[in-house]
Every structure is written in C-alpha cells, then in structure tokens.
Amino acid sequence: MTKLYNYLVKDGDAIAVGFSALMFILFAASVYFGAQSGGYDLSSLTDMQDKSNVNIFNLGLYIVMILGAIAVFLMLFGIFWDLIKNFKTGSKTIMGFGAIVVAFVIFYFTSSHDSGGRFDAYWSTDPFNITVGLSKFISAGLYTLMSLTLLSFLLILFFEIRSFFK
C-alpha cells in the first residue's frame, strides 16, 4: 500500500491529466462521429425542434455517471478508512461533507426554474419530462459545483500566497 501511495504522490497528477485527456478525446470523437453517422450538423443542432432522438452525447453521460459513482464510492471508502485510522481528522471530513450537503439543500430551495423560452421543449415532451423539482435539483447541483470551484480556487490562492511569505 505504501508503494502505491508513493507512486501516486509522484505520478498521480500525470495519471489524472492523462486519463481526463483520454476521456475528453473519447467523448469528442463519439460526438463527432455520432453526429456524422446520425446526419446531424453540429452547428445547427441547438436549432432542431425535435431533439428526442439525438443520442450523440450518451457516451459522455455514461462516462460521467460511472466515474461519478466510482468517485463517490472512493470518497465514502476514504471517509470510513480515515475514521478507523484517525477519528479526529475523519470527523472533520464528515463535517465538510455535511457542509456541502447543507449548501446543496440551501441552493435547492432558493433555486428558480425556467419554464419557457428555449427550454420550453424540455418541459412537456415525454423523453425529457423535466419537472420543477428536477429543474431545481439541476440548478442546485450547478450552483454547488460553481461555489465549490470558486472556494477551491480561493483556498489554493490563499495557501500559495501564505506559503510564499513563510
């Protein structure tokens, strides 16, 4: 286990960047070749009235779902492992996760939904059937993502400046 940890500390960033680049290339290729085989023009895809049979983004969606499930599993495993090894830091991890859940719930209840305009086709048709609750759930997820990204950026900036002056 120590060898794996040392390997990931040394080469983990390169592995992560390489894997994400591979996933991006795979997704872009599936969109391009899927559009070609389906007879779609990517520049006019958003103007199509009936988008129910457009499935060129499915591979990317499946990759995101699978990698998201793996990330959640590894996160939960890491929390439980950390709780077993060191309860003090593990409890801080649980409090941080709880703060993210609380932020998501706050964003959910403060989110609004757009029921007209360019999103009108998604509200009433069967393949999509986006309800008010689902729209608020998506908005809450996006707001949580944006706030965590901003918080991460600010914390990285703060700690880098702090370490520069030490």
Domain ranges of the chain: 1-85, 87-166
Ramachandran region, residue 134 (left: φ > 0; alpha: ψ -120 to 50; beta: rest)? alpha
**Quick one: tokens of 58?**
């499915």
Q: How far apart are CA 41 and CA 38, in angstroms?
A: 9
pLDDT at 104: 96
CA dihedral 25, 46, 61, 64 (to 10 degrees): 70
| pLDDT, tens digit (0-9, with 9 covering 90-100), for 136-147 | 888 899 999 999
Query: What residues in the chain have per-residue pLDDT under 70?
Result: 1, 51-52, 114-128
| pLDDT, tens digit (0-9, with 9 covering 90-100), for 39-65 | 777 777 777 777 667 778 888 888 889
Q: How far apart are CA 164 and CA 159, in angstroms?
A: 8
> Residue 90 carries which side chain, given as an amino acid letter?
G
User: For residues 63 and 56, is the Cβ–Cβ distance under 8 A?
Assistant: no
pLDDT at 126: 65
pLDDT at 154: 96
pLDDT at 128: 65
Residue 86, helix vs strand vs coil: coil
Which residue matches tokens 């995101």?
64
pLDDT at 115: 62
